[in-house]
Structure 1
Amino acid sequence: MASSAREPIYSAEQIKIPPQLPEILKDFAKHIIRTQPTDILKESAEYFTKQAALNSSPRKSSSASTKLSELQLESIYNRFGSPQPSGGSPPTLINRKDIQEACEEIGIGSQVVADIITLGAWGDRIPWLKFWALSVAAGYTSLIPTLHKVASILSGTSITKPEPGVADDSKPPLSRLPTAPFKEIFTFLAERDDGIGPDKTAKVLADLGEEKDVELSSFLDKLDAALSA
C-alpha cells in the first residue's frame, strides 16, 4: 500500500471554489486599484465591512424608490468603473442584462433599473457611466448636490452636499478628483438641465482643465460658484 505521505494534500476534486468568490475578489481588486490606499489592510477591512452591510440589508421590491443608497452607488461604480486588474480601461458600454444582474445582487429593484434605462432612452447596450449618473441624480432635486455626490464617490471620499437651504459647515477632505469621468458625467447631466447654459458648462470644464485630476475641495468651491452665478 502506498504511503499516504506521497499522496497530494489537495486534488482538483477537493478544491471547492464558492461561485461568488471570483466576482468578489475582482470587485475588491478594482476598488484597491482605484483608491490606492496607503494602508491596504485597513482599507480592506472597511471595504468588506461595507459590502457585508450592503448584502445584509433588506432587499427592495421592484416598486421601490429610485433613490439609491451610497453603498449601492459605490458598488455599481466599483463594478463597472474601476480599472481592470490587468490595467486596462473599463468598458464604455455594458449589456443591459449585466447591469440588471449587478443591480439585483445589491438589492436594486428591476423596476428601478428599467426606469433609469427608460429615462436615458437606451436599448440593450447601456453607457454605464451615464446610467450611473442618472442613478445618483435620482436621489437629489438639483444638479449641485448631485455633482457633489458624484465627486465624492469618484474621489473615494464620503462627502455629501446638502440640499439647498440646509446648513452644513463641514469641509470636504483633501482628495483628488479624476477629471475624465467627472467631465463626461457633468456634460451629460448639464445637457439635461435647462438651468445650465453653455456659458456655465464651459466655465466648469475650464476649471477642470486638462490635468488627470484636480484637488477636490477647491474645485467644488469653483463648481458651486460657477453654477450658482
Structure 2
Amino acid sequence: MPLPDTMFCAQQISIPPQLPDLLKSFTKAAIRTQPKDLLQWSSAYFSALSNGECLPVKDRLEMNTTHKTDTGLTPGLLKTLHKQLSPMETCSKEELEKKWKGLCLPLDQLETLLSLGSLDSDIDWMEFFALGCSALGGTLVSSLKFACEILTEDEEGGAARIPFNIFVKLYTYLAHLDGEMPQDHIDNFLSSLQTQVKKQGGMIQVSNFDISRK
C-alpha cells in the first residue's frame, strides 16, 4: 500500500485558538445542566451558540436532582426555558417544543401542560411559565413561590420579590385555572395587597402573606 503524499506530525497540526475555551465552557455547562441525553443537548447547545441564542444551560447544578430521580421539569430547567423564550413574550408550539427537547425533557409532560392550559399555536409565555410552576408546586401557594424564586432578581436566599404586575398575571391565571376561586375573591385579594406593594416600591414578596386566605 503506497504511503500518502502528505505526512503530518504534531507540530504541523494547527489548533484553532478558540477551541480550548469553547470546550472548557461546554464542559462546565454540561456539568451544571446534567442533561439526560448528552448528544441531544450538545446539538441544542452548539446550535444556540452558533445562532447567538440563549444557551440551554442551568445557572447552577441542582444538587437534589439526579438521573435516577429527575423525570421532568425542575426549577433550574424552567428558569432556563424562561431565559430562552420570555424575550419573545409569545412563541409557537414548535419553538417551545424545540427548546423543550433541547433540555431533554419528556414530550408527554409538555403535551400535558399544553392541554391543561388549552394552549395551541401562539403561546403566551408567561401563561406557560405559570403552568410550569404549577407542575413544580402542585398548589397555588407553592406554584407562586416557585415563580418568585425563579423570576426574582434578589440574591439567592433573599426576599425573592417580583414586580406586582407580573404577580397579578400569574396569580390570576392560576386562580382561573383552578376553577374554584370566584372572581370577586381574586379582585379583593389583589386589592388588599396594594399597601404592601406601595411600601416595597411596586414589588411583592409571596412569603409575607397567605395566598389562600379569604
Aligned length: 168
Of residues 48, 57, 60, the one that matches 1:20 is: 48
**How far apart are 1:27 and its partner, in Å?**
2.7
Q: Deviations over 1:147-179 (max 9, x none)?
A: 1111111114698xxxxxxxxxxxx62343122
The two structures have a TM-score, normalised by structure 2, of 0.62
Residue 94 of structure 1 aligns to a residue in which SS? strand
**How far apart are 1:22 and its partner, in Å?**
4.7
1:96–1:123 contact (8 Å) kept in structure 2: yes
Distance 1:104 1:20 in 2: 13
Of residues 165, 170, 195, the one that matches 1:180 is: 165
Gap change, CA 1:119 and 1:158, over 3 Å in 2: farther
- Bigger-Rg structure (1/2): 2
CA RMSD of aligned residues (A): 3.7
The reply on whether 1:139 has 2:144 as its aligned counterpart is no
Distance 1:176 1:22 in 2: 34
Of residues 68, 76, 81, the one that matches 1:71 is: 76
The reply on whether 1:197 has 2:182 as its aligned counterpart is yes
> What residue ranges of structure 2 are gaps of 5+ in the alignment?
1-15, 23-45
Of residues 106, 117, 121, the one that matches 2:118 is: 121
Of residues 198, 204, 207, the one that matches 1:220 is: 207
Gap change, CA 1:158 and 1:194, over 3 Å in 2: farther
Residue 126 of structure 1 aligns to a residue in which SS? strand
Of residues 102, 108, 112, the one that matches 2:99 is: 102
1:152–1:158 contact (8 Å) kept in structure 2: no
**How far apart are 1:58 and its partner, in Å?**
4.5
Q: Deviations over 1:48-102 (max 9, x none)?
A: x44xx79x96499xxx95x521111111111122xxxxxxxx3332011110011
- Aligned-residue sequence identity (percent) comes to 15
Of residues 100, 108, 111, the one that matches 1:111 is: 108
Gap change, CA 1:174 and 1:116, over 3 Å in 2: closer
**How far apart are 1:133 and its partner, in Å?**
0.9
Gap change, CA 1:115 and 1:158, over 3 Å in 2: farther
Residue 137 of structure 2 aligns to a residue in which SS? coil
